[in-house]
Structure 1
Amino acid sequence: MLREYREELDEDILADFRDIVDGVTDDDLENYTPFHWVLEFAEVYAGGGFDVVVGNPPWDMLTPDRDEYFTRYDESFSGLLPEAKQARQEKLLEQESISKGWKRYKHEIEIVTEYFHKSVDYRMQQPTIAGKQQGTENDLSALFLERVFQLSKAGGYTAQVLPGAIFNGVSTRDLRMELLDETTIQSLVTFENRGIFEEIDTRYNFGVIAFKNEGRTEELKATFQQTDVGVLENLEESALTISRRVLREYSPEARIFPYVQSQQEVDVLDSILAHEPIGDNSSDSWYCTPYRELDRTNDSDRFVEDESAGDYPVYGGSNIYQFQYDPSFVDIEEPEFWSVDEDSDPDKSAKRRIKEKKVRGLKRSLYDAYDGSGSQKGFVNDLLNEHRGEPLSPDDVLLDCTEYRIVIRNIARASDERTMIASVIPPGVVCHHAINTFSRFEVDPEDDDLSKSPLHSVYKPIFSDRELFYALGAVNSIPFDFLMRTKVDSNLVMYKIEESQVPRLTEGDDWFEHIWTRAAKLNCYGDAFAEMRDRLDISAATSPDERERIQAELDAGAFHAYGLDREQTEFVLEDFYQVQNPRRMTDEYFDLVLEKYDELAP
């Protein structure tokens, strides 16, 4: 009887393979022997699943492993050095049976890989983050964890030893969402492999998680980056209590778990994360959308190195600092590249290249705004021909560089004096990929706009002038920097900026005027900002002492705007990484910020 059921279930699974995997044959499936949990553990399944599941699933990727295959024919193969291993592989492949077996082995892996990619039983393996689908590359531990959710009964308990990527990898986002929203996590401890597993690289991280397979996680008892498994024996003494808000909102896009080190850090994050993501455009308020204008390599035909041969500079990351766009106050570099106006030579103009790139976005916005159907190009051109007698062209794009705008340095590390480095730069300047630009305009067309050429009136400002400098002050503030330092490696990832939280203040809100006026005084110096000073009716801060005081007042106001109390503010300032020979972030400066915080306290 069991044999008959097993054969029927085998055929059902093989039928799934045929439906899911393109071009699979019966010969391909001949050697597969599926394990049927429902049959082998019939009584368990009749009761709804396992009461307890304990496991340490494989940490490998489901890819062809030449060590695994060729060791069948040479036991010393896996221990050979790379060159010797390659030579031995080539020698073994001279044998026809081994060569055919190697091709068959790789083909079998491809079949199983495609099955896992497409099977409805494994729906948590390819999340979409920032509009792009991610993949686990068939990480066996991720596949096992998803199966565990199905094997455990409602209310059952599970404990697993898993690679660190499960808790902070982009591709495992949906697994973390399942843990947060569909289970009650009892505890999580992550480890750095300092002698714990001798055969695994010491740089490898892993974690031990225990959860109940029902409910949702409201708070988590956890500790991170431990080096001694003895911590498991007294977890209650060392575990931090992490709120659901911190777990969910620390990384709204990727849902990465923050590797916090103290309860004070958890509490500070909880206060910071109470605010809206800076990139949330669902309300009528301002928002920040970073993008890259030009690529230093791919667009190099639009750059010249001789200033006299150019009409305007092309900025890179080394050409800005916080609230600064030239070397007036700190030692930052002069522009390395320049470019020419469109009127001089459109084929060599960086601004023309930006228009050519951005016209696609304008086309999409018009298509969406007028409920387009069919071809985007055809629909938009027909719409414009009807209203103004000419199709869409790059000339219809209004460049952000026609206005003052915020830019941020792309290269950023937690060990830098400041991780977030932002400035408002003068109109007319363009930027290559070492700088990300915050969009200055959004496309919001009205019917009357469609008759105009160029279509610049469809662009509406995202910020008022005051909101622009408030946003600058917010992203350059110590509290925002504190948050971003926990998220960066060596570059600012755009979605990590957009998902990070700031107080989204505007005219009339507490701390709005305090922050924008100080950010503007710091940034609006020199002839290039004479117009903006008039628009804002402010004067620039130009003496070193005045600039230090004003920036300290801004940082102190930002702590208040975030709702951080004095103890939390003091913790952030004491915890802030300090470099040797800092430009600004000295002990004296931090003391000044705390002094200003106290002065501003209600």
Structure 2
Amino acid sequence: MYKLFLEQCFNLLKTGSECGIVIPSSFYNDLGAKQLREMLFSQSKMTGLFCFENRKTIFEGVHRSFKFVVLTFEKGGNTKKFPAAFMRHDVLELQRFPNSDSISISLELIRRLSPDSLSVVEFKNEIDFHISEKMTKFPLLGEKIEDKWNLSLKREFHMTDDKNLFKSYSKSRLPLYEGKMIHQFTHLYAKPKYWVDEQEGRKALLKRNESDISQLLDYQCYRFSYRAIGRSTDARTLIGTVLPSNVFSGNSLNIASPTQDNKSTVFISAVLNSFCVDFALRQQVSANINMFYIYQLPVPRLTKNDRYFNDIVQRAAKLICTTPEFDELAQEVGLVSHQQGVTDETERAKLRAELDGMVAHLYGLTEDEFSYILTTFPIVSATVKEAALSAYRNFAPMFGVSEILASI
């Protein structure tokens, strides 16, 4: 309801009058508030965006990780830039806001980073600015590019609306995957609770009046999926993997349509599970990872003809292809079978660290920049972060020294 109140506050103001209001942080990044942001940017001068967590229980009965915004604006004119502060815990800081530690965010940068939604990225300091600008040299995932793989996201079954399809286990039924069943690079995080009769599932998925002539549907293919729920305060925000073929999914998972080849699907999983992409996503997400957040991520669109593509795919495939359901995928990417997949936790950790190091190089990040990104994941163990940074250093000769490339 904050959207209604904020709009009415704007309507009640005379030109030159000011408003200060406390609202949920979703105002500055949710797609549903885009028109409000557009209105304030174009018809007012925003004078402050102060975001704080409820960590000290400022509001009783509200979860401590919930974030609020103190928004101030003057009606009339337009906004070119405004002071902002994010992830604050003490509202007493408002007495000193804005100050030299505040970040000045320009509307030009917002339009460049989030052209479709005008979302405001949670920059905490100057290095956030610098890294984000460096990453935006790559196209956003929502941009359609010829001769490259493109990402198209969807949901399959709704856990409430389609509950009549969900049944108990039977050999003749296919599992229904939910968000809690997957983690990064694994489809085995939990066992399925529900199962679906394939013919009933097909009928529900086919378009209205479309006949079932045994055509190939998405559920019969390998697909990248990610949890639809994720907070910037979690250990990791973006959690995804490749699902085996012949499984259905509920709405707690967002599913990518099959790509032109499965190698691209594995590559997508590798990059989106990286610390670098997670860092970019955490600057925008509140609680739900809506599809438009993923579409706004800048991601290198490497294909099989690009250098490093196969190196990344091979490592990710070893993490994903660990059961017989992935034998076909394993063979397609160059493994003999799922038996070449890696299940030993130490070896898996090594492969993941290598992927994180390689992706950091893809983005052209310096060692200092990648090291800073790792510090923004406070709940992740120091061992994991040290391994990723060590892998980055090991791959420096392979990719070329990032600092030199940046200078050039």
Q: Into which bin does the TM-score normalised by the smaller protein fall?
A: 0.7 to 0.9
Counterpart code for 1:589: V
Q: Is it true that 1:337 corresponds to 2:201 in the alignment?
A: no
Q: Name the structure 2 match of 1:576.
A: 377
**Deviation of the 1:275 alpha carbon:** 2.5
TM-score by length of 1: 0.56
Count how many residue pairs are aligned between Structure 1 and Structure 2.
380
**Deviation of the 1:170 alpha carbon:** 4.7
User: What CA distance in whole angstroms lies between the structure 2 residues aligned with 1:523 and 1:238?
Assistant: 43
Deviations 1:165-196 (A, max 9, x none): 664565552453366578887x53426599xx
**Deviation of the 1:323 alpha carbon:** 1.2
User: What CA distance in whole angstroms lies between the structure 2 residues aligned with 1:144 and 1:530?
Assistant: 63
SS in structure 1 at match of 2:48? strand
Please say if residues 243 and 270 of structure 1, whose CA atoms lie closer than 8 Å, have aligned partners that are also in contact: no
SS in structure 2 at match of 1:238? coil
Q: Is it true that 1:237 corresponds to 2:100 in the alignment?
A: yes
SS in structure 2 at match of 1:398? coil
Q: Is it true that 1:190 corresponds to 2:50 in the alignment?
A: yes
Deviations 1:72-92 (A, max 9, x none): xxxxxxxxxxxxxxxxxxxxx
Q: Name the structure 2 match of 1:354.
A: 205
**Deviation of the 1:600 alpha carbon:** 1.4
Q: 1:324 aligns with which of 175, 186, 205?
A: 186
Counterpart mapping for 1:144-543 below 5 A: 144=12, 151=15, 161-164=20-23, 167-168=28-29, 170=31, 172-177=33-38, 188-190=48-50, 205-209=69-73, 213=77, 217=80, 220-224=82-86, 225=88, 227-232=92-97, 235=98, 237-242=100-105, 244=107, 246-308=109-171, 310-326=172-188, 332-342=189-199, 349-355=200-206, 359-360=207-208, 392-395=210-213, 398-440=216-258, 462-538=259-335, 539-543=340-344
Counterpart mapping for 1:43-58 below 5 A: none
Please say if residues 279 and 498 of structure 1, whose CA atoms lie closer than 8 Å, have aligned partners that are also in contact: yes
Relative to 1, partners in 2 of residues 1:270 and 1:436: Cα closer, same or farther, differing over 3 Å? same
Q: Is it true that 1:141 corresponds to 2:9 in the alignment?
A: yes
Counterpart code for 2:247: V
**Deviation of the 1:597 alpha carbon:** 0.7
In structure 1, runs of 5+ residues without a counterpart are 1-59, 62-134, 153-157, 327-331, 343-348, 361-376, 378-391, 441-461, 579-584
SS in structure 2 at match of 1:531? helix
User: What CA distance in whole angstroms lies between the structure 1 residues aligned with 2:186 and 2:32?
Assistant: 37
SS in structure 2 at match of 1:553? helix
Relative to 1, partners in 2 of residues 1:182 and 1:210: Cα closer, same or farther, differing over 3 Å? closer
Please say if residues 477 and 555 of structure 1, whose CA atoms lie closer than 8 Å, have aligned partners that are also in contact: yes
TM-score by length of 2: 0.80
SS in structure 2 at match of 1:287? coil
Please say if residues 188 and 220 of structure 1, whose CA atoms lie closer than 8 Å, have aligned partners that are also in contact: yes
Q: 2:358 aligns with which of 557, 560, 563?
A: 557
Q: Is it true that 1:546 corresponds to 2:406 in the alignment?
A: no
In structure 2, runs of 5+ residues without a counterpart are 401-408
SS in structure 1 at match of 2:100? helix
User: What CA distance in whole angstroms lies between the structure 2 residues aligned with 1:220 and 1:508?
Assistant: 44
Please say if residues 10 and 75 of structure 2, whose CA atoms lie closer than 8 Å, have aligned partners that are also in contact: no
**Deviation of the 1:494 alpha carbon:** 2.0
**Deviation of the 1:596 alpha carbon:** 0.9
User: What CA distance in whole angstroms lies between the structure 1 residues aligned with 2:33 and 2:254?
Assistant: 27
Relative to 1, partners in 2 of residues 1:242 and 1:598: Cα closer, same or farther, differing over 3 Å? farther
Deviations 1:427-483 (A, max 9, x none): 11111222221111xxxxxxxxxxxxxxxxxxxxx3322211111111111111122
Please say if residues 325 and 423 of structure 1, whose CA atoms lie closer than 8 Å, have aligned partners that are also in contact: yes
Relative to 1, partners in 2 of residues 1:191 and 1:313: Cα closer, same or farther, differing over 3 Å? closer
Counterpart code for 2:252: A
Counterpart mapping for 1:52-91 below 5 A: none
SS in structure 2 at match of 1:501? coil
Please say if residues 136 and 172 of structure 1, whose CA atoms lie closer than 8 Å, have aligned partners that are also in contact: no
Structure having the larger proportion of residues in helix:
1
SS in structure 2 at match of 1:227? helix
User: What CA distance in whole angstroms lies between the structure 2 residues aligned with 1:516 and 1:181?
Assistant: 45
Please say if residues 179 and 227 of structure 2, whose CA atoms lie closer than 8 Å, have aligned partners that are also in contact: yes
User: What CA distance in whole angstroms lies between the structure 1 residues aligned with 2:122 and 2:357?
Assistant: 26
Percent identity between the aligned chains? 23
Counterpart code for 1:562: Y
